[in-house]
């Protein structure tokens, strides 16, 4: 008897040592998975646009692929003759091979589909990512089946695997993504990720060959002697519960990113930091679920499940007003971001605990892989619904307070339903729990005043309420704040001001007025981006203009413009056509369109996704839409890299303040023609320059006689093509491409 016990102990220790390798491999597997998600989404956004429709399609395609992959992995896992770890190895190798071909494949397919309708674009986006996401989604059910065959504990197996894989993804976001994207670009980052997939695949294959075969007899013995454990939660209810948890978690992730970007600036590293903090929180929660389910029966776990559901929704709700208050007292943006990310991590810990708990109380160990695959697919379906319903529908109709209140109310109903159906607690505990649920929901209205001014508090921090917004416009495309003096902040970043007064130039409005100085007849003009509408109002009233087409990604700017006298009449100008779309997408979908001038008052060169409008690839697209002697005139926000990229694509250039005019024809700054056009300018029935007013004529001469570049006058100056090239020749400027993404990650 002692010999049998000793042998069993040795076998158990050997299995634990082998399991450590599975955990290590699955941890490493999480690193390339998140890298692919970030890179592939960016690549597809560059091809199909970053408007809300394209973003929703691409993200939903990723989620749908993962869900279907989970079902496929579950279907394979319960076939006992198949080796789950061998299938995992094949999946990892398949992902790596696809990754090496992915970016070229995306560009090739995009050339075919760029003029297709939205539903065709959505189908193609799904088909582009379905193979790797199917393989990614299949890995968790396969490895769960392998571990449960050994341990017979579903909750612990789910929690431990979810922990290591999500931790790998979170660590990659926080540590690896930024330096990789910075130094290697998209293609180099994907190659590194594919290398990790290859190592994981080879390691899993070796494990399967050398170790899995030896343990199959023990697994078969455990399976033959296993009994179906009494489940504490009906599986149908567990599926609904997993779906709601995914829905709530992804909905709050969308909300948190909007608030964090508004508070700290919409940059690529901010997104990676939020995603990393969220994933690390999910991982830690899964670890807690792992440890709890390892030492507690399902009858015990069912008691804390509803409490965890209620806690996750309540904490997630209160993070938003709490962040607004805390950011006001934090010393600097670094501590502000750290506090916000720590709060998000705490909420994610609760969400991460839920999945192992649900699996522990609802899954039969005899079909663990298949059952968990259904739960995982249900969780992903809920997450996808969160992206579609909250990100695409509710944010266009409701305020942030109403959306989060609905999520909190949904959490209360889900909590009550799980508690009622499980019926495992005493009546006294049920009464206390019911009171806590009702109190959590009823206390929410106390946060309404903070929600009403949450964007003011997040942006201005210590300066609030002395500085605040007079108007806030929220929709699915973003948030626009307008101060009492008419300054716009789109997504928390300065986005212009309502002013077309050339003589009282508070927003360098002289730049669009200068169009006729370097183009002799700007008759047909395209403008990408609307902002305050000030640029568009100036160009629309240019005496030489015949028609102006404006492409704007966020319809909220039209609402803002309609309420400000300086630009309101732009919306009724018969010369002006405004289209809501992504600028790059619009150009690709209208290959026949040609213009005398294309204008773009671009946002800061460091903002997230801005390189889609600054890269050499985009400039080449613009070049195809210019007529003979056509000019592309755009804001460089004082970036030498942006200017160097323009010079690399176009043979001729001219800098005017912080804007660059580029063309295939020589550019001449004609002061006499410009002065003549300015004297003919009329906006809203009023002359821009009154020729009978000596003061205004003097100001006009000062404007027209703008000087050439000088070290002390670089702000208000112009530079010829030769002067720009000479100045940049001794510098090591980065030519911005879709692959290196400019300075977004630096």
| pLDDT value of residue 713 | 53
* Whether residues 198 and 269 fall in one domain: no
Amino acid 682: pLDDT: 95
Mean pLDDT on 42-71: 81
**Do residues 665 and 719 share a domain?**
yes
Same domain, 269 and 124: no
Residue with tokens 């997450």: 383
| 271 and 157 share one domain | no
Those residues whose C-beta lies under 8 Å from the C-beta of residue 606, and which sit 6 or more positions away, are: 267, 742, 743, 744, 746
- The answer to whether position 471 is within a domain reads no
Residue pointed to by tokens 């948890």: 245
User: Which phi and psi angles does 494 have, rounded to 5°?
Assistant: -50, 130
Considering only the C-alpha atoms of the chain, give the largest distance between any 2 of them, rounded to a whole number of Å: 113
Residue 376 resides in a domain: no
Nearest to 636 by CA among 609, 613, 605: 605
At 252-276, the pLDDT tens digits run 999 999 999 998 888 888 889 999 9
Helix axes 118-151, 154-171, angle to 10 degrees: 130
CA–CA gap between residue 62 and residue 74 (Å, rounded) = 18
Pair of tokens at residue 259: 């608030």
Identify the sign of the CA torsion 594, 599, 603, 607.
positive
For 152, other C-beta atoms within 10 Å of its C-beta total 18
How many domains, in total, are found in the chain?
3
Which residues does 96 contact at the CB level (< 8 Å), separation at least 6?
Answer: 32, 193, 194, 195, 196, 197, 198, 201
Sheet with 718-719, side-by-side order of all strands: 576-580, 547-552, 524-528, 595-600, 626-635, 659-663, 652-656, 718-719
The residue range of the domain holding 535 is 518-729
> Do 267 and 191 have their domain in common?
no
d(CA 427, CA 224): 39
Kindly report, residue by residue over 403-423, the tens digit of the pLDDT.
999 999 898 888 888 877 775
Q: Do residues 196 and 119 both lie within one domain?
A: yes
Considering only 63-67, 134-138, 239-243, which range has the smallest mean pLDDT? Answer: 63-67
Strands 547-552 and 524-528: parallel
Output the pLDDT for position 228.
44
Is residue 108 domain-shared with residue 186, that is, in the same domain? yes
Q: Are residues 303 and 212 in the same domain?
A: no
| Same domain? 163 vs 252 | no
Beta strands in 498-545 (DSSP E): 524-528
**End-of-domain residue from the set 421, 453, 485:** 453
Task: Round to whole Å and give the CA distance between 514 and 172.
Answer: 47
The last residue of one of the domains, among 226, 255, 286, is: 226
What distance lies between CA 146 and its chain's CA centroid? 34
So what's the pLDDT on residue 6? 46
Provide the pLDDT for residue 298: 81
Cα 218 off chain centre by: 46
Q: How far is CA 615 from the centre of its chain?
A: 20
Banded model confidence at residue 296, pLDDT cuts 50, 70, 90: confident
What is the pLDDT at residue 623? 97
Region of poorest pLDDT, from 553-557, 573-577, 728-732: 728-732
303 vs 379, more confident: 379
SS3 226: coil
The burial class, CB within 10 Å (0-12 / 13-18 / 19+), for 9 is exposed
> 616 and 532, same structural domain?
yes
Is 10 among the domain residues?
A: no
Output Rg (C-alpha) for the chain, integer angstroms: 29
**DSSP labels for 8-59?**
HHHHHHHHHHHHHHHHHHHHHHHHHHHHHHHHHHHHHHHHH-SSHHHHHHHH
| DSSP string for 556-577 | HHHHHHHT-TTTGGGGG-TTEE
Closest C-alpha among 636, 631, 632 to residue 658: 636
Strand-pair partners of 528: 551
């Amino acid at each position: 008897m002692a010999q049998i016990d000793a042998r069993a102990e040795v076998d158990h220790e050997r299995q634990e040592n082998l399991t450590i390798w599975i955990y290590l491999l699955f941890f490493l597997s999480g690193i390339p998975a998140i890298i692919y998600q970030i890179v592939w989404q960016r690549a597809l956004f560059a091809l199909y646009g970053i408007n809300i429709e394209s973003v929703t399609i691409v993200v939903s395609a990723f989620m749908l692929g993962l869900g279907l992959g989970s079902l496929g992995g579950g279907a394979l896992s319960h076939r006992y003759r198949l080796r789950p770890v061998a299938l995992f190895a094949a999946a990892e190798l398949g992902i790596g091979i696809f990754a090496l071909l992915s970016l070229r494949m995306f560009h090739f397919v995009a050339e075919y589909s760029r003029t297709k309708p939205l539903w065709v674009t959505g189908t193609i986006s799904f088909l582009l990512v379905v193979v790797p996401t199917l393989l990614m989604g299949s890995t968790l059910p396969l490895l769960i089946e392998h571990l449960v065959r050994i341990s017979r504990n579903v909750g612990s197996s789910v929690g431990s695997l979810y922990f290591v894989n999500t931790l790998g993804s979170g660590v990659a976001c926080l540590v690896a993504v930024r330096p990789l994207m910075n130094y290697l670009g998209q293609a180099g980052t994907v190659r590194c990720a594919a290398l990790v997939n290859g190592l994981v695949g080879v390691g899993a294959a070796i494990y399967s060959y050398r170790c899995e075969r030896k343990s199959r007899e023990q697994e078969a013995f455990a399976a033959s002697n296993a009994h179906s454990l009494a489940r504490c939660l009906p599986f149908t209810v567990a599926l609904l519960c997993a779906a709601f948890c995914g829905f709530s978690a992804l909905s709050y992730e969308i909300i948190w990113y909007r608030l964090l970007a508004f508070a700290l600036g919409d940059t690529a590293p901010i997104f990676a930091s939020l995603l990393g903090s969220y994933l690390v929180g999910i991982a830690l929660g899964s670890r807690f679920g792992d440890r709890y389910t390892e030492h507690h029966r399902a009858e015990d776990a069912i008691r804390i499940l509803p409490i965890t559901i209620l806690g996750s929704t309540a904490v997630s709700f209160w993070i938003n007003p709490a962040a607004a208050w805390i950011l006001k007292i934090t010393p600097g943006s670094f501590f502000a971001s750290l506090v916000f990310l720590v709060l998000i991590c705490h909420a994610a810990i609760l969400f991460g605990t839920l999945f192992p708990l649900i699996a522990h109380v609802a899954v039969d160990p005899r079909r663990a892989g298949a059952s968990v695959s259904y739960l995982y697919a249900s969780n992903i379906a809920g997450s996808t619904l969160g992206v579609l319903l909250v990100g695409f529908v509710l944010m266009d109709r409701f305020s942030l307070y109403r959306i989060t209140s609905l999520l909190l109310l949904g959490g209360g109903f889900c909590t009550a339903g799980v508690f009622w159906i499980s019926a495992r607690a005493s009546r006294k505990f049920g009464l206390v729990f019911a009171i806590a649920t009702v109190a959590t929901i009823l206390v929410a209205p106390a946060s309404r005043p903070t929600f009403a001014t949450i964007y003011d508090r997040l942006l201005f921090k210590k300066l609030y309420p002395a500085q605040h917004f007079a108007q806030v416009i929220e929709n699915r495309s973003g948030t626009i704040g307008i101060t009492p003096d008419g300054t716009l902040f789109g997504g928390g970043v300065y986005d212009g001001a309502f002013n077309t007064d050339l003589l009282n130039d508070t927003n360098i409005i002289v730049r669009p007025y200068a169009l006729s100085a370097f183009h002799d007849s700007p008759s047909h003009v395209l403008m990408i981006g609307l902002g305050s509408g000030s640029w568009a109002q100036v160009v629309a009233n240019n005496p030489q203009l015949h028609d102006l087409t404006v492409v704007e990604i966020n319809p909220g700017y039209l609402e803002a413009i309609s309420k400000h006298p300086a630009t309101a009449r732009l919306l009724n100008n018969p010369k002006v056509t405004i289209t809501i779309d992504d600028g790059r997408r619009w150009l690709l979908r209208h290959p026949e369109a040609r213009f005398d001038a294309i204008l773009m008052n671009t946002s800061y060169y460091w903002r997230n996704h801005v390189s889609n409008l600054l890269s050499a690839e985009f400039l080449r697209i613009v070049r195809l839409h210019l007529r003979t002697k056509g000019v592309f005139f755009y804001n460089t926000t004082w970036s030498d890299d942006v200017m160097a990229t323009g010079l690399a694509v176009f043979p001729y250039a001219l800098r005017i303040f912080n804007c660059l005019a580029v063309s295939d024809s020589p550019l001449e700054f004609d002061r006499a023609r410009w002065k003549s056009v300015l004297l003919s300018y009329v906006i809203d029935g009023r002359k821009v320059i009154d020729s009978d007013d000596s003061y205004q004529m003097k100001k006009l001469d000062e404007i027209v006689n703008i000087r050439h570049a000088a070290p002390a006058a670089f702000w208000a100056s112009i530079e010829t093509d030769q002067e720009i090239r000479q100045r940049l020749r001794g510098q090591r400027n980065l030519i911005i491409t879709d692959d290196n993404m400019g300075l977004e990650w630096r």
